[in-house]
Amino acid sequence: MTPEIFVKARSTLFIPSMTENTFPNIIQNTTGFQSLTETINWLQAESFDLKKNLSTSGVLLFRGFPVSSAEDFDSFSSAFNYGEFTYQESLSNAVRINKTPKVFTANEAPADVEIFLHHEMAQTPSYPEKIFFCCLSPASKGGETPVCRSDKVFNELSEKHPKWLSKFESLGLKYTTVMPPSDELNSGQGRGWRSTLSVYDEKEAEEKLKALGYSWKWLKDKSLLATSPALPAISVLPDGSKSFFNQIIAAYRGWKTLENSSVPPVTFGNGEFIEENILNSIVAIASRFTTLLEWKTGDVALVDNRRVMHGRHSYSGVNKREVLVSLARDS
Ligand SMILES: [Fe+2]
């Protein structure tokens, strides 16, 4: 990094401060960086302030920067120097395709499938703290990424439904999913059990599930019905505030349930069912704190996965929507 670039960047590219209504915080390339090298130099120089800003805003949206490929995006996200979180090591049930070792497609679910609000991998014991998205090509119509402030959802729930909230907090949640024998591209949760668990056969799968505290059942078609151990429904953030950190909305609205199965996709941590009226109330409250990332080519969004939920609207039209993802740990 040359001093000239540092001075130029500091003096002309404004990092907007956070206000109560700034969500997401949009950072425009007003300096007019033409090259990725200049951009990365600036990101590295400003990473402390950018991370500080993210810790209160929840989402930074970088617009107008020279990012036009998976490799550019890999370099852009690497400039923040977060720890690595590879998709292979996760227990996510979405099908994705790697573009570089740390960049992959957001979700291979069909265009007409809506992916409902969730914290990434909150339904598993291991999750990334940060998520980068990059839009290489927006859809012709739809395809926005809704983002929702879960700390505000928590606050509203504590006012309106304190008893329910304390039950979520004390019992946690259990999630039940069905994993097919191999990856299915026609679903938002189509990742097969072999790739989800990084195993070769049934015996290895059972060993892995046992070690993770899951219960399971093999189905006639060789699919695997797996129920997580009780996982937290609430997360305490570094500033002491709390967020409604879970996958209740996505599981309730979007996950497939087994025909004739009495097990819903999400229950309290003791297996008790969550009443429909409280589920609907959570959905309604979350919608009030949700805004849309309306993608433009070259946009990069950095999302604090512990404070903010995300999803994906369905889309249509001739343009192929191409949104990539990179996951990260805080360190
Ligand atoms: Fe996601």
Residue 206 is part of a domain; what is its CATH number? 3.60.130.10
CA angle 90/91/97 to nearest 5° reads 65
CA neighbours closer than 13 Å in the CB half-sphere of residue 158: 12
CA 3–ligand 1 middle distance (angstroms): 38
Task: Render pLDDT for 165-190 as a digit per residue (tens, 0 to 9).
Answer: 999 999 999 999 888 888 776 665 67
For residues 111 and 314, is the Cβ–Cβ distance under 8 A? yes
> What spacing in Å lies between the alpha carbon of 175 and ligand 1's midpoint?
16
Average pLDDT, integer, range 89-105: 80
Asked if residue 297 is part of any domain, the answer here is no
Separation of CA 109 and ligand 1 centre (Å): 11
Judge whether 68 lies within some domain.
no
Terminal-residue alpha carbon distance, the chain: 23
What pTM value is reported for the model?
0.89
> Residues whose CB is under 5 A from ligand 1 (ion)?
120
Q: What's the CA-to-centroid distance between 309 and ligand 1, angstroms?
A: 8
Determine the distance separating the centroid of ligand 1 and the alpha carbon of 223, expressed in angstroms. 23
CA 64 → CA 34, 73, 143, 149, 158, distances in Å? 10, 13, 19, 25, 39
Domain assignment present for 244 = yes
Residue 133 in any domain: the answer is no
Ligand 1 center from residue 145 Cα (angstroms): 10
Compute the distance from residue 116 Cα to the ligand 1 centre, in Å.
9
Share of the chain above pLDDT 90, in %: 70
Domain membership of residue 131 (yes or no) is no
- Ligand 1 centroid to residue 115 C-alpha, Å: 8
- Please check whether residue 85 lies inside any domain of the structure: no
How many A from CA of 296 to the centre of ligand 1? 19
Residue 34: inside a domain: no
Q: Indicate whether 245 pLDDT > 90.
A: yes
How far apart CA 172 and CA 218 sit, in angstroms, is 25
Q: How far is the CA of 2 from the centre of ligand 1 (A)?
A: 37
Q: What ranges make up the beta strands (E) of the chain?
A: 25-28, 59-63, 83-84, 98-100, 103-105, 115-118, 130-137, 141-142, 145-149, 173-179, 215-218, 224-227, 235-236, 242-243, 266-268, 290-293, 300-304, 308-312, 315-316, 322-329
**pLDDT beyond 80 at 325:** yes
Per-range mean pLDDT, top range of 109-118, 211-220, 303-312:
303-312
The answer as to whether 245 is a domain residue is: yes
Question: Which residues form the domain of 268?
Answer: 151-286
Count of domains forming the chain: 1
Q: What is the pLDDT of residues 262-293, one digit of tens each?
A: 779 999 999 999 999 999 999 999 999 999 99
